[in-house]
Each structure stands twice: as structure tokens, then as C-alpha cells.
Amino acid sequence: MSVEAIRDGRTALGIEFGSTRIKACLVDAADPATVLAVGSHEWENSFENRLWTYPLAQVWAGLQDAYANLVADAHDRWGVRPATVGSIGVSAMMHGYLAFDADDALLVPFRTWRNTNTGDAAAELSELFGVNIPLRWSVAHLRQAVLDDEPHVADIRFVTTLAGYVHWQLTGRRVLGVGDASGMFPIDTATGGYDLGMAAAFDAQAAGSPLAAPLTDLLPEVLPAGAAAGELTAAGAALLDPTGALAPGIPFCPPEGDAGTGMVATNAVAPRTGNVSAGTSIFAMVVLERPLSQPHEELDIVTTPAGDAVAMVHCNNGASELAAWVGMFSRFAEAAGTPTDADVVYETLLREALAGDPDAGGLLAYNHLAGEPIAGLDEGRPMFVRTPDSRFSLANAMRAQVYGVFGTLALGMRALEAEGVELDLMFAHGGVFRTAGVAQRFLAGALDAPVAVGDTAAEGGAWGIAVLAAYLDDADRPLGDYLASRVFAGADVRIAEPDPQDVAGFAAYLDAYAAGLAAERAAAEAL
């Protein structure tokens, strides 16, 4: 019974810090597919001193609110408030830069994955290592701080990600799941730890700089999924639940990044499978059968939470521009005297997009609120463009907006096509997929591959990290086997096969989209 599971702590709690929401998800540890309660807190990054950041005070206020809302949801559903849980996991946006001194004081404001000021460092390290080091990776942020002679560099004693920071504060352990760690620094998949040859090359390059310690001494310890990663301390319990109701001593799984939890949430950890996660950013993860023949600037090589190699196409801009359009139509409905729930507006507009032309009628939508390295954009300027002979209609406009969510992603996926990487199935999750059969169908056309959406699509990474927390009790078998037999055996998964007309239409859209990026670059220069 769910009531007994909550009361007895036979549960797993997942917490994820997304770009716009902090979510908490409680599952039955014996049946992790069963969600018992959820809570969330909305937040937003800020652009300060030309850098994207979140104040750490908002991290804790948001975490406490999300957890309090989960406790209230559990009480509303089951009449019981959890005083303990069986295990906990923390996940967050990957990459970025949180640097601390010897007294554990934050040296500079948190720099998120969204920042694109690290171009010199990323280019230097990519050449030095012989692998692509994207702008958002933690090591690029660290190296850029050295190149820029930032005063704080001499005081750095620890660098971590947002998930690693929250986990550290709750448990006292400076560790990171291998998937999240692979977005800080390249991983040697043979050892499951940082690539020591590349770390030595970094240290040699940094010789003579104020950086006071070898790189591996500055980074968190790397752990695979299923490893014990500490317990909730008394101080951590007070941070998570200031009411004092939550008892310390709860075991934690390794903290993970949103890419890894997205893979878990979609059962996409086996070769020839992958997943697409759409939120403020959008990224695709494809589990590789073999190494790629050469580096590609469009692709990161990261890992699954179990440590297997993954090609990642990461785009800074996802569904935020689409959400802005939905907000505009919501306001129109309100101004017209017919206030309409945002979910209804989403569904109405997405279903209208189904009536659009396969190529969106020649309309183009660029969703670039921030810079986009794959598209060659240092800064973003959202644009909606049509030519005099475009077929301008609501259906085509909304289809173009959804296509725009996938546009830069599809450009990056072309590199995998050139490598001959084959996909049997792509799983998708994120709020845009909640309206059945629309964004899923368009993504299948964009990738020319079957796309699956399951019951957990809307819960996403918070549920994924809850599953990883539950995996602590079953880690004697491989993660893929655990997911297939314990979590997804009875899952309701809906698969959309690519429609030939959608494939051809999106290909035409993408050709025009790629050509139109010159206008995007000009807009960033002029506006």
C-alpha cells in the first residue's frame, strides 16, 4: 500500500534543478514506476555582468519550497506526511562553474551552462585533448578564468556542478555521478574516472598560472550509478526540510546531470537507443556502439550514469520561445474575455500545427534567446521570418515554432548521420511532448527515426533521479537490466514512426533554416 510505503520510508526521493523549475518526485522504492507525490518551485536565471547565473540563496529557497509542496501533495493524496524516505538523489543542469576556496566559500557567482564566454578556452582545450570541449563544460570555464587572469583563480580549491554542490551540502561528500562528471572533464570509459592523460596535459598547460593544485585535486570524486554516495547529515536535513520533520541518515545515490536522468527516465541507456530532452535547452543523447572516427564540434562525448559512452548534441535554446508564443495567445484569450488554462492553449496550438504544411509553409522560426554554438551564434535574437510567397496561417506559424525547437538539434544530428550511427529508437521527454502525437510526430520527422514517449515524459529528470536513488537497493545488476525489468516492464510507451511527408517537409524547412542563420547573425550584430 502506498500509505504504508510513505509512512515506513520505503520510498525514493528525486530532486532536480531544471532551468525554470525545481522538481521533487517521490516514488515507491519497490515499484519505481509508481509516483507517490510531486512538488515543484519555479525559478529563473538572471543575466548579471554579462553572465547567466542563479543566486545560491534561490537554490535553497527553491529546494525547500519544492520539498514542502511534495510533502503537502503526499498528505493530500494519502493522508500522511513523510518523516523519512528510503533514499535520495539530486540532479541538476549539467556543466557550469561553481568554484570554492579552502574555507568552502563561493568565489564568484555560479556560472551556468548557458554562458558562451569560454570560446578561447574551449578552442584551446579541444586542440590540446583532441576531443571536442564545448563552451559550457566546467573545464572550459575554469581554463577561461585562468586565461582571463581572474583574481579568484589562486584561491580555487574545489570546482563542481550544481548537482554536486547541493549533494555536498546535504551529505558532506564531494562526489559526482559519472554522467555529470563527464560534462566537467572527459572520462576514460575503461577506468570510469577522469582521463588522467588529458588531466596531465591540462596541468602542463596551466603551469606558471596561479592555479594552486593539480586538476584532479580540484574536481569531485567520480562514482557510477548504484554506488553509495553518502547520507543526509543533520545540517543537510535542516537545509532540505527546515520544519525538522525529516530525519537525517538517509542514503544518497551519486548526484547526476539532467542528461543522465533524462536517459534513465526514458530507458535509453543501451546502444542504438537515445533520448531527446526538451526544456529551456534541448539535447539529444545517443548511446554509441563504437567510438566515433573523429571529433565533431557539434558533439560532446559524455557517458550514461553507468559510464558508457554517449554522443550528445546540446543546444542552449529549447522550448522557451514556443512558451512565449503560447503566453501571448493565452493573454489574447484573457483579453477577449475567455481566460483559458495554459495547458489548453498549448494543446490547441499544437493540434493546430498538425494542419500545417509539411514544410511549415515556408515560415521559419528561430528560438535563439541565448547564444547557440552549433548555429555559430555568440548571442541570440529570436526571429520569426516569412517571405512574400510563404503560406502564412496559424497552423503553419505554430508548426514552424515547433520545428524551430528542433532546428539546431537537427543540424547537430547530421554529424552522427555522417558517422553512420544508426538509431533503432529515440525516446523523448519534456513538457512539449505532453500533448500526444504532435511534437513527438514532428521530432520523428526531423530525425527520420521512430520516437517513443512514455507515461513519465512530463515528470522527466526528477523521476529519473528518483529511479537512480531506488537503484541503490538493486545495484548488483546492470542499470539497463534494472530499468528494463523493474521500471519499464509494464510501461505504456507510444511510438511514432516517421511520416515520409514530415521527413521531406522538415528537410526542406531545415535547409531554409540553415541558410537563414545568416540573418540571425546579422540580427545579433544590428540589434
> Are residues 513 and 383 in contact, defined by beta-carbon separation less than 8 angstroms?
no
Task: Give the residue among 77, 255, 239, 75 at the shortest CA–CA distance from 165.
Answer: 255
Please enumerate in sequence order all residues whose Cβ is within 8 A of that of 276, keeping only pairs 6 or more positions apart, or say none. Answer: 282, 283, 284, 285, 409, 426, 427, 428, 429, 430, 443, 447, 451
pLDDT band at 422, cuts 50/70/90?
Answer: confident
Task: Give the residue among 197, 195, 178, 93 at the shortest CA–CA distance from 136.
Answer: 93
DSSP 474: G
> What span, in angstroms and rounded, lies between the C-alpha atoms of 460 and 464?
6
pLDDT digits (tens, 9 = 90+) for 484-509: 999 988 878 899 999 999 999 999 99
pTM of the model: 0.84
pLDDT digits (tens, 9 = 90+) for 378-391: 899 999 999 999 99
**What cell was used for 492?**
505504456
CA atoms lying within 13 Å on the CB side of residue 78: 19
Mean pLDDT of the chain: 94
Please enumerate in sequence order all residues whose Cβ is within 8 A of that of 81, keeping only pairs 6 or more positions apart, or say none. Answer: 71, 74, 75, 245
pLDDT band at 270, cuts 50/70/90?
Answer: confident
Burial class (CB in 10 A: 0-12, 13-18, 19+), 512: middle
Task: Give the residue among 414, 336, 345 at the shortest CA–CA distance from 375.
Answer: 414
* Domains of the chain and any CATH numbers: 267-317+412-496 (3.30.420.40), 320-405+500-526 (no CATH)
> What span, in angstroms and rounded, lies between the C-alpha atoms of 307 and 285?
13
Helix (H, G, I), strand (E, B) or coil at 52: strand
The pLDDT of residue 279 is: 84
- The answer, yes or no, to whether residue 358 has pLDDT greater than 80, is yes
Backbone φ and ψ of 259, nearest 5°: -65, -45
> Are residues 195 and 181 in contact, defined by beta-carbon separation less than 8 angstroms?
no
The pLDDT of residue 272 is: 87
Q: What is the mean pLDDT of the segment spanning 25-43?
A: 95
Lowest model confidence (mean pLDDT) among 7-11, 261-265, 368-372, 455-459: 455-459
- The answer, yes or no, to whether residue 436 has pLDDT greater than 70, is yes
- The answer, yes or no, to whether residue 172 has pLDDT greater than 90, is yes
pLDDT digits (tens, 9 = 90+) for 308-345: 999 989 898 999 999 999 999 999 999 999 999 999 99
